[in-house]
Amino acid sequence: MKVGIIGASGYGGLELIRLLHNHTEVETIDLFTSSEEGIIFSHKYTHLLNIHDEPLLKIENDRLADFDVVFASTPSGVTSELLPPLIGRGPKLIDLSGDFRLKDPSQYEQWYKKKPAPIHAIEKSVYGLTEWNETAIQHAPLIANPGCYPTAVLLSLLPLLKENLIDATQIVIDAKSGISGAGNKPSQMTHFSETNENTAIYKLHQHQHIPEIEQAINRFADHSSPITFTTHLVPMTRGILATSYAPLNEGTTEKQLIESLQETYKNHPFVRIIKETNKFGTNQVYGSNFCDIHVKVDPRTNRATIVSVIDNLVKGAAGQAIQNMNVQFGFDQITGLQQVPLFI
């Protein structure tokens, strides 16, 4: 199949390239740019020498319409204009940005502070949390790939919320991300001298993933309480660790929590439930499409601590996008995504 990537030079784009090169069904990968047309890609990124020595292409709808699938990995506010004219013109569309995730356009305006996508396009888009929305993804013309934090949080919480094992009104989520989550554009926030030897909380109560997580909890687990969600930047390149705390509902045991997770994901190869562990961290999924989940009850407080880890660029972005492509095209979900984590 023929693949096009818009935003190829960004972190999500580079990860798509890395993973798609091992995909047995992919014949060609063409790379698009909004700012560096004609630049030889391997001159910009030496690690792609002898792999992508062709020039970057200008983004043009007629050209994009020829692909089987087009991935867009661009900043928010770009695909809301770029992709709607391509819906139904041929390629399956997979958007890694937040532009089509929120079903209520006023929420997008409020949290992203940008103009929302046209409502007809939002209505056609399907939320790409693969393990929870596979049937809809199969027929979707446009996939709204989930945010990195929501992927880690939702995969760990949805089974327990859906089965009413934990108190949905009292969820507190404390999440930490590596710096690649902020993309390749340098900023004050990601400057080495301000991130090295530092851990910082950011976007307190204002993070754009709050409404995305709440929307998905409502949709897939039928609870509508607001969540407390905080994000932290830690001095590492990749990885997200999300720790959620929730009181147990009457009668819930730790065994039930573990069994709920195991049962939910028994046929899902990328979600691993880690039963016993003293150490649980982002390096156990680094470079892979796994989401690992661990849950433990504190009998002193009767609260559950639910921890999950992903690689933000793989399961949190490019890997899940390719998993969704596999579902759309009827390939085995693991095709191209069997990388063993780079532990050390």
Residues acting as catalytic residues: 148
Segment holding 303, helix H or strand E: strand 303-310
Q: Count residues near ligand X2W (CB under 6 A).
A: 12
Sorted by sequence, the CB contacts under 8 Å of residue 170 that are 6+ apart come out as 246, 247
Question: What is the footprint of ligand NDP within residues 155-214 (CB under 6 A)?
Answer: 180-181, 183-185
Residue 148 interacting with ligand X2W (CB under 6 A)? yes
Choose the one of ligand NDP, ligand X2W, none that binds residue 36, judging by a C-beta under 5 to 8 angstroms depending on kind: ligand NDP
Residue 316 interacting with ligand NDP (CB under 6 A)? yes
3-state SS string for 92-125: EEEECCCCCCCCCHHHHHHHHCCCCCCHHHHHHE
Q: Which stretch binds ligand X2W (CB under 6 A): 14-22, 174-182, 214-222, 324-332?
A: 174-182
Helix (H, G, I), strand (E, B) or coil at 182: helix
3-state SS string for 16-84: HHHHHCCCCCCCEEEEEECCCCCCEHHHHCHHHCCCCCCECEECCHHHHCCCCEEEECCCCCCHHHHCH
Residue 125 interacting with ligand NDP (CB under 6 A)? no
Question: What is the footprint of ligand X2W within residues 91-120 (CB under 6 A)?
Answer: 97-98
Residue 73 interacting with ligand X2W (CB under 6 A)? no
Choose the one of ligand X2W, ligand NDP, none that binds residue 7, judging by a C-beta under 5 to 8 angstroms depending on kind: ligand NDP
Q: Which stretch binds ligand X2W (CB under 6 A): 49-57, 136-144, 176-184, 318-326?
A: 176-184
Q: Which residues pair with 303 in a beta bridge?
A: 247, 298
Q: Which stretch binds ligand NDP (CB under 6 A): 72-80, 83-91, 110-118, 283-291?
A: 72-80
Among 40, 87, 182, 274, binds ligand X2W (CB under 6 A): 182
Q: Which stretch binds ligand X2W (CB under 6 A): 55-63, 175-183, 285-293, 301-309?
A: 175-183
The residue with its CB nearest to ligand X2W is 181
Among 125, 133, 156, 231, binds ligand X2W (CB under 6 A): 231
Choose the one of ligand NDP, ligand X2W, none that binds residue 211, judging by a C-beta under 5 to 8 angstroms depending on kind: none
Helix (H, G, I), strand (E, B) or coil at 287: coil
Among 171, 210, 306, 313, binds ligand NDP (CB under 6 A): 313
Q: What whole-number distance in Å separates Cα of residue 73 and Cα of residue 6?
A: 6
Q: What whole-number distance in Å separates Cα of residue 310 and Cα of residue 7?
A: 22
Residue 130 interacting with ligand NDP (CB under 6 A)? no
Sorted by sequence, the CB contacts under 8 Å of residue 259 that are 6+ apart come out as none
Phi-psi region at 59: left, alpha or beta (left = phi > 0; alpha = psi -120 to 50): beta
Burial class of residue 25, CB neighbours in 10 A (0-12, 13-18, 19+)? middle
Q: What whole-number distance in Å separates Cα of residue 54 and Cα of residue 141?
A: 29
Binding site for ligand X2W (CB under 6 A): 76, 97-98, 147-148, 177, 181-182, 208-209, 231, 233
Binding site for ligand NDP (CB under 6 A): 6-7, 9-13, 33-36, 73-76, 78, 96-97, 147-148, 180-181, 183-185, 312-313, 316-317
